[in-house]
Amino acid sequence: MNKLTFIFSLFLLTVGLFSPTFSFAQTDKAQSEASYEVVLQILTASNAQGEKANLPTGLSNAVKRLKTDYAFSNYHLTATYLQRIANTGSLEFKTLVYETVPNLQTNAPIFMEWTIGQLMSLPNEKGQSSMQIRGFRFGQRIPITVGYAKADDKNSTPLINYEQIGLSVQKLSLPENIPTVIGTLSTSKTDELMFLILTVKSTE
């Protein structure tokens, strides 16, 4: 065996010995993405008398800010939805509801959905942790009574059309672990508004 062949063989042996170690080192360094809880809360404001406020303490600051802009006397929590998502992840949620947008004429269900396109944890200009969402959508298909079909001499059946309402935001940022109002929607009552409040907090 000449000198050149010996050196080449020694090189191959060295690569063979250290390659598995390198691969294992790369595997050990791999880490899973951080995980977050995304909480969407629907807050209904009205001037209805006799309704008891059932607000969690975490929403007190958000309600104080709303009261400076809106002259409603009553705020109550209508619904809370909690989902888990990893950093840079997306989610889509669909369900049936009956009370989010009260309908006085029929007990037909309401189809509700909300989606987050991509959630990313980024520092803001002050270096504080901030959550950026590349696309948020909240939508409802609500029943509207457009007429009645006579079933017999005493009864009639309502004719219902579903109409789409909702809110879409292409890009938004919010501080971590602070309930943030991201939009408003009307309800079927003229003296009510529905506020969408989003909170993103780390699970660690």
CA distance 148 to 28: 67
Degrees, nearest 5: CA angle 84-80-68: 120
**Domain boundaries of the chain, sorted by first residue:** 32-202
pLDDT at residue number 22: 44
Q: Which of 152, 187, 156 is nearest to 76 (CA)?
A: 187
**Strand partners of residue 141:** 111, 164
CA distance 23 to 26: 5
The pTM of this model reads 0.75
CA distance 97 to 94: 10
Q: Going residue by residue through the chain (204 aa), what tens digit of pLDDT does each one get?
A: 555 454 445 444 454 544 554 444 454 455 667 899 999 999 999 988 766 667 888 899 999 999 999 989 889 898 999 999 999 999 999 998 865 444 445 677 889 999 999 999 887 777 777 899 999 999 998 888 888 888 777 778 888 889 898 999 999 999 999 999 999 998 877 888 999 999 999 887
